[in-house]
Amino acid sequence: MAKKLWGGRFKKKVNKEFFRFQKSISYDYKLANYDILHSRIHIVALKNAKILTPGDAKKMDTALKQILKGIRNKTFKPNLASEDIHTDVQNRVEKKCGKLALKLQTFRSRNDQIVFCEKGYCDDESGNIADLLGEVISSLEFLAVKYKGFHFVGYTHTQRAEKIAFMSYIAAFESMFTRDKERLLEFRKKLTLYIGSGAFKGSSLIKNYDRAIKEFLKKTFEKALSGKIKAVENPPDNVSDRDFIIEFLSILSIVQMHLSRLAEDFILFSTNEFNYMELPEDFCTGSSLMPHKKNPDFMELIRGYTGRIYGNLASILTTMKGLPLTYNRDMQLDKEPLFSSVEIIKDELAVLADFIKGIRLNRNAIVESLKDESLYATALAEYLVKKKIPFGTAHEIVGKLIRYSEDNKCKIRQMGNETLKRFSHCLNKKVVDQIFE
């Protein structure tokens, strides 16, 4: 058990099983860089408040920068004996700076650090996911352009409905993912990382933070963070607030819902029966028993992950239900669902962007399907309307024509003028040929 940030009032040593149970280091280590960011600004505020000498402030900042360097070059390994990442970072500073490190936590609570770190994470990852959505949209455009001019079969109720341009079909997905991207960017824009809440009532340093933030950002050239980090305005709300995680996971749930629909369509269209699409072989897997199988596993896994993404949203919503103000330990459990959804979505989108480029359309099968006369029924009704037949009547005429065609196993295209005229005087072979092209 590594050194903890509390304990003076406790007589008994903490129970080992409980300590293991309550630790968060195994997942919150992902927030290390944001914790260091918080500490570095905090140090500036402590220095300005004369709690740290400039020399001591510099010493600690240097120690933190060293740790940050390790994180950036991936050599940082969390000490799994620590309680959480905040403690872990503090212990590392202590190793480098000795007793001086005992001043780092001055007027600061993990309640404030946690929400700051989580917002930092959401800020970065909402940006990353927006970028990946951009790549998927590009791949969809690539596919649409590759098959420019292709017609496609449009469906409602998984039943053939009308002929549409393949580009229009693909544009529907582009439109969905564009909305998703916009939602993420709006979400990101609103995110503000507050500092200075103390445990919940506001730190004694609260008035020092605005200046400290400016000084820090200027010194470190972290322009991207300008305007994003602020001295806290409503401390009890700030440490209680997990709205941003719910918002983020809600947006990701919609992304995932869209992905599941794309997956369902592509699974259908790549069956032997539809046969409109060939999925890229290098993204499929086989069977350990059936030698012929080439399964659309990637699409199935995407569809299946919908459970996980929705479940993570349900998880955080449930956890937050009925919590008294302000911070409660329950809220520690917001991290794993957040990280899980972010990582799944990123993995899906990264692979999907490549996958889509590998899709090939099977023109023959599509053309064959487009011969289906029912796809032109609506156009036929529209023709009748233009001939002054009320739509309700036109709809019924075409309905009966189709029934006749089915009952008599006779294509409309093959019906003679006499037959056609029985349904409407406006119908004849020429008209049919024109519409059923």
* Residue list 189-248, contact with a copy of itself (CB under 8 A): 198-201, 204, 234-237, 239-241, 243, 246-247
The DSSP letter of residue 253 is H
> Which CB, 37 or 176, lies closer to a copy of itself?
176
Please give the DSSP secondary-structure letter assigned to residue 197. Answer: -
Smallest separation, CB 249 to a copy of itself (Å): 9
First to last CA, the chain: 77
Q: How far apart are CA 74 and CA 374, in angstroms?
A: 60
In angstroms, give the least distance from the CB of 262 to a copy of itself. 9
To a copy of itself, the closest distance from the beta carbon of 152 in angstroms equals 10
409 makes contact with a copy of itself (CB under 8 A): no
Distance CA 357, CA 83 (A): 45
Q: What crossing angle do the helices spanning 243-269 and 110-146 adopt, rounded to 10°?
A: 20
Which residues contact residue 370 at a Cβ distance below 8 angstroms, ignoring those fewer than 6 apart? 151, 153, 163
HSE value, Cβ hemisphere, 13 Å, CA-based, for 106: 21
157 among known catalytic residues: yes
Least distance (Å) between residue 276 CB and a copy of itself: 9
Span of 34-42, 124-132, 139-147, 328-336 interacting with a copy of itself by CB under 8 A: 328-336
54 binds a copy of itself per the rule CB under 8 A: no
Determine which residue in the list 15, 26, 226, 417 makes contact with a copy of itself, applying CB under 8 A.
Answer: 15
Note the Cα 185 to chain centre separation in Å: 12
Ramachandran bin of 230, using left for φ above 0, alpha for ψ from -120 to 50, beta for the remaining angles? beta
Give the shortest CB-216-to-a copy of itself separation in angstroms. Answer: 20
C-alpha–C-alpha distance, residues 225 and 416, integer Å: 74
The correct pick among 280, 339, 357, 413 for binding a copy of itself (CB under 8 A) is 280
Q: Does 18 bind a copy of itself (CB under 8 A)?
A: yes
Site of tokens 């487009």 = 370
Q: Tell which one of 41, 64, 176, 359 touches a copy of itself (CB under 8 A).
A: 176
The span of 2-10, 26-34, 65-73, 133-141 binding a copy of itself (CB under 8 A) equals 2-10
Pick from 39, 91, 126, 319 the residue near a copy of itself by CB under 8 A. Answer: 319
Per the residue annotation, which of 39, 287, 292, 395 is the catalytic one?
A: 287
What positions carry a catalytic annotation?
A: 157, 287
